[in-house]
Structure 1
Amino acid sequence: MRWPVGLGRGLGRALGRKLGRALIWAAVWAAPSCGGGCISATTTGPSSSPSSSQSSSPSSPPVAALAPPKVASINAGPGVMVQLEPHLVPGHVTIIDFWAQWCAACKTIEAELLTELRDEPTVVLRKVDVGAGDSDVARAYRLGGLPHLRIFDRRGRLRYVLVGEDAHQAGEAALVLAREP
């Protein structure tokens, strides 16, 4: 088994044992269940008005300097196709969570991730609702089962693909990537 670059042999082996077969080398969250803390990728923030996003105070940081939202939906609706690359946040570990409303395990994974990663500002979650059945997005990304998570490092490189029970290891894998230089 090849270990992720930068992990070192010992840590790589330990992580490899936990992730098992889920570690796949390859080039790939505003759900009603996220408790209202999500935003849609089509919104610009708390208000869609451009004037409301800037403060009259000269000491306020520019809008571009604000941190990206922790959780965001990146497709327009269930099963609607979406390109992932524009939603990878530079300098942040990005977890793409392919989920469906009917998937109870997906909701469990979401809750686990929000708990595990709440104190890690450099990890963001992006949700893709695959809808029901054989949707365009499920076919395009060859999703064989749910939950299905793809974890990208700070440079936008796909590092982990976790499917089914292995998705429970996503928080730990993301934290390892967040600690890499």
Structure 2
Amino acid sequence: MSTARVVAAVCAAFTLAACGTSAGDSSEAVPQVGTSAEQSPPPATSSGRLLQFGSEHRFPSGLVVTVSSPNVFVPSESAYPRSKRAAAFGIELYNEGQKPYRISDLSAQATIDGKEIKQVQDLPRGYNGIVDADRDLAAGDSTKVTLAFALPPEPATIELTLRPDATKSTKVVFVGSA
């Protein structure tokens, strides 16, 4: 084989790789020519987009989640951690899957400008985390969980990340102002 053919074959292989062609089926995004992984945000959901509060998302397992718009409130004196403002989110879970879903597998994390904000426990206001964490959500059933998070004094954009299983990378990110 001539050197020109080898060079052409190598160039063709690099071109295919740069275009994102791969032998396997992957859910990871492949940077395109002229971009870098640092320039493009990581995919937030299995479809790679952020959802507004009030939206619904269906995970491959059949778990459907809907997150309400934030309800901003002043925490009581007994709230922990102490904060002057907090936001509560109603999270509705509906199991369209074939198997029961263990509610304790749900993981929630809230961030503002990439910094994690703390979950607020405020029993007088009814914000005490996932109450039914020890039960399964049967196929066809639904439940609602309410979680609250401490906010800074000024309004900010908050991202609420939900994972149906904290040990896996599958997640959805809801975003909005609070």
TM-score band, normalised by the shorter chain? under 0.3
Per the normalisation by structure 2, the TM-score is: 0.26
Per the normalisation by structure 1, the TM-score is: 0.26
The structure number with the bigger radius of gyration is 2
**Relative contact order (C-alpha < 8 Å, sep 6+): which is higher?**
1
Structure with the larger strand share: 2
Structure with the larger helix share: 1
